[in-house]
Amino acid sequence: MKILSFFTLLVMGLLMVMVVNVMPISANGDNNSPLIQEMKENRQLWRSQRLKNYQYIYQQQCFCVLPSNTPLKVSVKNDKITQVVNLNNNQIITDLTFPKTIDEIFNIIKDAIQRNADEILITYHKTLGYPTRVAIDYQKILADEEVTYTVENLSKLN
């Protein structure tokens, strides 16, 4: 009987730990306020550029399927991705939903802050304000869910 009680308590304890680990955690305003402020300032700087047509080199590094971890040349016209080229083989990629526009990367940053990711490291372009590197580790305790986005060589398109 003691063994049954022990296992019952053990199972209940494990279930409580599992429930606590999956409960959403709201962003802590005090801890994240510098990230939020920095994001808002840089997003405003980016928007002030009024760039609707641009191209850049994009890479998403994660434990994901291709074309992750592959440098891509992304063309954006009227704030929509119009062409994606794999720079490893110069092949055109038809899935235009994979790479992110600059505005979408800002949304990813905002989401990570709101979800209170364990680690968020962001570098912004000094004069244009767009994120050049965003590294997010949502939960340090989990392996392989980290993601890093890089944006390089952004230039205006006519």
The pLDDT tens digits for 53-111 are 999 999 998 777 666 778 999 999 999 999 999 999 999 999 888 899 999 999 999 99
DSSP category for residue 144: S
Indicate the domain borders of the chain. 27-156
Please enumerate in sequence order all residues whose Cβ is within 8 A of that of 27, keeping only pairs 6 or more positions apart, or say none. 113, 114, 115, 116
pTM: 0.76
Element (H, E) at 88: none
